[in-house]
Structure 1
């Protein structure tokens, strides 16, 4: 589903956090948001999944304003994995993942066959098949992350919104998660701190700096030494990954740029 952000301005605590941001994620495209801490990445994503209302501008899903949709309808189109996880849940793994089916269920109707299939498929996709009865509060941080991703996948959205989804994951599961997202080819908006992961995963990157969109394009177009120094304040060389051919950023840890 094509997702367009038009003139988005968001104000928090009396201060504009985003300033007239415009970008498009085409249908099936993985669009990455990168930028320093505080640049507005999470704020933009929260606006896409309706957690925040913009002061100006809008988010369009296939041409429709997401704020004009009923909550259940919007949830059938957009699923989110935010950074804020909340407290411990006294639920099993399966119960958490099954919550992703709520936009499709009538009150008190219970699960149907389609719900059970979606939950089982989501658990299998994140490598948690067979662990349905474990308690969520007994899981490691990385396992919890995978359960919450499974909940979003069980929602079967057309647009997936992920805010730093590789946090708490070890290297193996980071690689597997990125491969899973790449294989699905559903419209995805994702924020990532790891620029090399962003270069490998994303079709297009959008760079935010102090609430302003300063660059958009393919990873090779965007991730230049000049931009890395100007936006991130680091000195780096951009090479070619020897295994994948993707841009590979080699940071200079000995002579950092000083702001």
Structure 2
């Protein structure tokens, strides 16, 4: 399902943190948001899953303004994995993932066999099936991240909105999560700090800087040495990954941007 951000602005505490952004994630496309800290990535994503109200502009889901959808209706279409993981739920892992079925149920309705099946499948997809009976509060940060991704998958949404989903994950589980996103082929908006991960998993990248969109396109088109110096303040060479052929950014960790030869 296509999602479009049209002339979106967000103001927080009197300061504009997103300024007139236009971007699109086409049906089945993984669209990445990249940019330095404070560039507006999280604020933009929060407007997509309706945690924030934009000060101007709108978000369209298949041509419909998400602000006009009822909360349960919106939750059937859009699932989010925000950076903040929430409290230490006094629930089991299975119960946390089953919360993803809430948009499909009436008040006080018990889980049925289909809910149990979907919950179990979501846990298996993120490699947490064996932990189903553990307490969520007892998990490590990486394990919690995978459980909350399973909860988002259990919503069976048309659109996934993920804010730094690889946070707290070790290398193996980072690779597995990114592979899962590609396998899903579900419309996805994802903010990533790791530019090499973004280049590997995303079909299109949108670069934010000081709340404004400064570049959009395929990773190979967007991730240039010039952009990396201007937006991120680093010296880097962009080469071809020897295993995948994706763009691979080799950072100069010794010389700040602007001080090289």
Alignment TM class, shorter chain as reference: over 0.9
Deviation at 1:130, TM superposition (A): 2.5
Cα distance in 2 between the residues matched to 1:32 and 1:86 = 23
Is the partner of 2:253 in helix, strand or coil? coil
Q: Distance in 2 between matches of 1:162 and 1:28?
A: 15
Counterpart of 1:44 in structure 2 is 44
* Alignment-derived partner of residue 79 in structure 1: 79
Separation in 1, partners of 2:120, 2:42: 29
Tell me the CA shift for residue 174 of structure 1: 0.1
Equivalent residue number for residue 243 of structure 1: 243
Taking the aligned partners of 1:27 and 1:210, their CA distance within structure 2 comes to 28
1:22 aligns with 22
Q: 1:11 — aligned with what?
A: 11
Partner of 1:256: 256
Give TM-score, length-normalised by structure 1: 0.99
The runs of 5 or more residues in structure 1 that have no matched partner are none
Task: Give 3-state SS (helix, strand or coil) of 1:253's partner.
Answer: strand
CA shift for structure 1 position 258: 5.8
State the 1:112 CA deviation: 1.6
Counterpart for residue 91 of structure 2: 91
Q: 1:118, CA displacement in angstroms?
A: 1.0
Match of 2:46, SS state, is helix
**Would you identify which runs of 4 or more consecutive aligned residues in structure 1 move more than 2 Å?**
none
Write the deviation string for residues 148-193 of structure 1: whole angstroms up to 9, x where unpaired: 0000000000000000000000000000000000000000000000
**Equivalent-residue separation in structure 1 for 2:89 and 2:98 (angstroms):** 14
Gaps of 5+ in 2: none
Alignment of 1:135-146 (within 5 A): 135-146=135-146
Distance 2:55 2:79 in 1: 23
Matched residue, 1:69: 69
Q: What residue is the counterpart of 1:115 in the other structure? A: 115
Helix, strand or coil: the match of 2:87?
coil
